[in-house]
């Protein structure tokens, strides 16, 4: 996945990656608008640019909560009910 100039269906302008993590072989990215920066909601997408969460506005904790919810439901779907992710793999993208 490219690091900037990312276009998302239903969103104005382009985005760039500001954080990423990997869980169960799936990469998950936090994107920020190249036009509006942190004045606009961030968007969480997977490695195929599928939007997982598009209402992040209050900083890292919203991102973490969105990932936690997504991964919790993913684990339930894959038969690992009740186990929650600790997100130790999250890092800033330089």
Residue 94 has pLDDT above 70, yes or no: no
SS3 annotation, the chain: CCCCCEECCCCCCEEEEEEEEEECCEEEEEEEECCCECCCCEEEEECCCCEEEEEECCCHHHHHHHHHHHHHHHHHHCCCCCCCCCCCCCEECC
pLDDT of 24-63, one tens digit each?
Answer: 788 888 899 999 998 888 888 889 999 887 876 765 567 6
- Residues 65 and 58: their CA atoms lie apart, in Å, by 11
The pLDDT score that the predictor gives to residue 16 is 96
> Tokens representing 71?
């991964």
What's the whole-model pTM score? 0.66
- Residues 44 and 67: their CA atoms lie apart, in Å, by 8
């Amino acid at each position: 996945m490219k690091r900037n100039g990312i276009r998302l269906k239903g969103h104005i302008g382009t985005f760039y990656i500001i954080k990423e993590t990997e869980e169960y072989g799936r990469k998950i990215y936090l994107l920020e608008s190249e036009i509006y920066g942190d004045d606009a909601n961030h968007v969480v997408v997977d490695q195929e640019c599928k939007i997982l969460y598009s209402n992040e506005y209050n900083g890292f904790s919203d991102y973490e909560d969105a990932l936690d919810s997504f991964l919790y439901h993913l684990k339930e779907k894959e038969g690992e009910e009740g186990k929650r992710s600790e997100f130790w793999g999250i890092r800033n993208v330089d």
